[in-house]
Amino acid sequence: MDDRELLQVVMGIVGKANCADDCAVFPCGERQMVITTDMLHRTTDFVPGMTNWQAGWMSAAVTLSDIASMGAAPQYLLIAVGLDDWKCLEGVMQGAKDCCTHFDAAIIGGDIDRHGELTVVTTGIGIVDKEHLVRRTGARPGDLICITGTPGQAQAWLDGYHQFEKALFEPQPRVREGQLLGKAGVSAMMDDSDGIALSLYDLVSVNGCGFALDSRKLPLPVGIPSDQAWELALYGGGDYELIYTIDPVQFPVLGVPSTVIGTVVPEPGVTVDGQPLAKRGYQHRWE
């Protein structure tokens, strides 16, 4: 059993429409407010060698990334910290605050309790003009598939390429880029935190079309054998780049370095070089 299978249980209770995007959306005067929440744990998310400050930074960054994927500007963060060791708290809070300050957001509340392992729950709130809100739905055949940055670097560190430590330990949510893409009118968008492959299958699940990748166009982490770099780029988790679709006449978007990696096609599914792409990436699993 994996987290996407369990999501079907949640959808059966609260409705598919309430689970279709990276953030919930509701009206806020003439604008739209987006809200999202994440939970990170010492054993599954904070890798050995990561400082408490980095754990706090990462906890804030993953939530700000969800807000960015909606084209929204982050405003506020709530943070709840479960502690097995009270001495972790100062570093975690400082890291989360520094991340929020860097991306023009503020921590406005939260909770502290005793827990079996360091656990951080972050709830983020953002704001966006209605016409600039981007959802996962909206991809159209003929659109380009694009990605910011270089995918696969976070997983590369886990595979022993320690020159990519900052990519994993201090991820940089694409907040500015998300807002620029929203204003440019991209048709669909999400972050690729679970890998490109799973992200595209998530997009298939809410769009009536498919996604055809060209392996020759994938940006690859440098200093890694090409076959392994290709695997990392497609399936590696822990990146917080934005994957989006856009009408070819609108590309490129000024101020958003991106790579075209494929094309939206009418037939549902995900392919690479004409062959089905394996549906795998970073997932939580249960026996």
Beta bridge partners of 33: 26, 127
Q: What is the pLDDT of residues 164-177, one digit of tens each?
A: 999 999 999 999 99
Please give the mean pLDDT across all residues of the chain. 95
Return the closest-CA partner of residue 226 out of 259, 234, 160, 262: 234
Residue 16 pLDDT class (50, 70, 90 cuts): confident
| pLDDT beyond 90 at 19 | no
pLDDT tens for residues 32-68? 999 999 999 999 999 999 999 999 999 999 999 999 9
> 211-228: per-residue pLDDT in tens?
999 999 999 999 999 999
Q: Which pLDDT value is given to residue 9?
A: 72
The whole-model pTM stands at 0.95
Residue 285 has pLDDT above 70, yes or no: no
Direct distance between the N- and C-terminal alpha carbons of the chain, in angstroms, rounded to an integer: 6
Task: Please state, in angstroms and rounded to a whole number, the distance separating the CA atoms of residues 263 and 248.
Answer: 10
CA atoms within 13 A on the CB side of 253: 25
Nearest Cα neighbor of 181 from 138, 123, 152, 236 is 138
pLDDT value at residue 2:
67
Among 122, 162, 276, which Cα is nearest to 211's?
Answer: 276
Chain mean position to CA 147: 12
